[in-house]
Amino acid sequence: MIERTLVLVKPDGVQRGLIGEVVNRFERKGLKIIGMKMIHINREFAENHYPKDMAKLFGKKTSEGLKEFGINTTKSEKELGEKTWEDLINFITESPVVAIVLEGVHAVKNVRSIVGSTSPHEAAPGTIRGDYAHASMIYSSVTGTGGRNIVHASGSAEDAKREIALWFKTEELHEYKRADEFHTTGR
């Protein structure tokens, strides 16, 4: 039940000075930081993190979102997805990000709960995205701004393993005991 997960404070979170606030939310929940660094990634690295095959999912979601907001388009789902993916790659490489590996009980699910819905306009107040981001993913698609929603969080335990291995070397992850671990582990 003890899991690891990856969180990125995206360029908009870094540029807005929200790194400390984001870290604070996870630490207050009892999640342990076992790795953290600031890095300015290049396009190749970004494409490894957000593989091109994600464009298909982006296209479907963008098409559905445009319909929901009553926006007509002549572009196919494929075209929409490729444009949204390209915008995301450009956004994530525009300035440094802070990569964090968190560890704790049900870390993936707890982190996803703390960050809120991927599309900020649907994120509940009290979540990171609900408190600090407001534009929808559809707005980002229409304006080409690349999904400015403060943070990325691994979507599953499998995603977390792949993403942590991409962002961190084994020796960059640290084992130690937090003072409050006795309350969750009994040791």
Among the listed residues 40, 106, 121, 152, the single catalytic one is 152
CA-closest candidate to residue 25, choices 135, 113, 98: 113
- Residue 165, classed as helix, strand or coil, is helix
Tell me the two tokens of residue 55: 């464009």
Is position 152 annotated as part of the catalytic site?
Answer: yes
- Residue 99, classed as helix, strand or coil, is strand
Give one DSSP letter per residue of 1-41, joined into a string.
-EEEEEEEE-HHHHHTT-HHHHHHHHHHHTPEEEEEEEE--
Single-letter amino acid code for the residue at 134:
H
Give one DSSP letter per residue of 60-82, joined into a string.
HHHHHHHHHTT------HHHHHH
State the distance between the two ends of the chain, measured CA to CA, in whole angstroms.
16
CA 9, CA 19: separation in Å to the nearest integer? 7
Active-site residues, by number, are 152
